[in-house]
Structure 1
Amino acid sequence: MSMKVILTSIPDVLIIEPKVFGDDRGFFSESFNARQFEEATGVKRTFVQDNHSRSARNVLRGLHYQIQHPQGKLVRVVVGEVFDVAVDLRQTSPTYGEWVGVTLSAENKRQLWVPEGFAHGFVVTSESAEFLYKTTDYWYPQHERSLLWNDSDVGIDWPIEGQPILAAKDAAGKRLTEAESFC
């Protein structure tokens, strides 16, 4: 097996540690293999889009989700470090409104599987970071929603001091009690 799967406090959100082969020349890692991903996680999905973003320290992106055409996301960092968060928005889930946070970095090479039905976001904790992610559905801007990053009902413990740098849509995110959720 070329990956290790680590369960989180929300069983559907998984930390993936790919096997890394390194020597004095550098390293090699298979970042995704559909067959091995399914065998190791039990998750069978088709990814339809790859995205790449670059952000500066204290940029917080999210917490995003699509109420229709929900996206599962397999996320990783190839430069720098982020604190990555998934919030369960599935109303029938025993973990509804709970969150999982994990540090993803170029150094630890961890990935996070964020299934459909979750809001997702991250804050950059290094000078800058490059963030890559695969999605199971396309981006439909008309269906995109933002959960408020600092909603006290969710209580995410972001590892930042002061105010993060936010896009207008993220600053205007909805509180959990007002947000559209998944049935």
Structure 2
Amino acid sequence: MDGIEGSDGALSGVTRRTALGSTAAIASSLMLLDGEVEAASVKAPPSDMALDIVPVVNGRATPVTIDPRTSLLDLLRERLGLTGAKKGCDHGQCGACTVHVDGRRVASCLTLAAKSDGRQVTTIEGLADGDRLHPMQQAFIDHDALQCGYCTPGQIMAAVACVREGNAATRPSIREYMSGNLCRCGAYVGIVAAIEDVVAKGRQA
């Protein structure tokens, strides 16, 4: 039967098809309204919310005006052109975005750029001394501690911090304190060997 029977036994003229169509139309309207509300809620902040900061990036004071919501990773990559730190998971779980702030490693995707004001920020671009590679960079090359290279900048920054923190005395310790940096290519053996080499030769700067 196409129609719906009323209490008097007559067909009301409403079919399943029209009922479903009406329901779908209402749902679509609600979704569009939801989208409009969401779009309104994420509008750029007024210009008076702009924030002036002066992080010291790789030894150079760098005045910049930012949106207070900007992550340190986006500041480095999108505003300062320092693309060594990679955007991997964007949730602080892969370590590809590792940089140093005042000598301590941080996940720059989870760190607000505003917190870097007046602080020392070191990226992979700031490790080498001109054309002379940092000992850890050289060790990664010597031990084939990379394949695709996407995670390598973060791995090297974490490795440098691992040694400076005094957590590279044993192989298990290295593995534990490097566990926040993932390598999808599986170059872990080379990474551990590179760190051990730097420690053994006392080459850490």
TM-score (norm 2): 0.30
Q: Which has the higher contact order (CA 8 A, sep 6+)?
A: 1
Larger-Rg structure: 2
Higher strand proportion (structure 1 or 2): 1
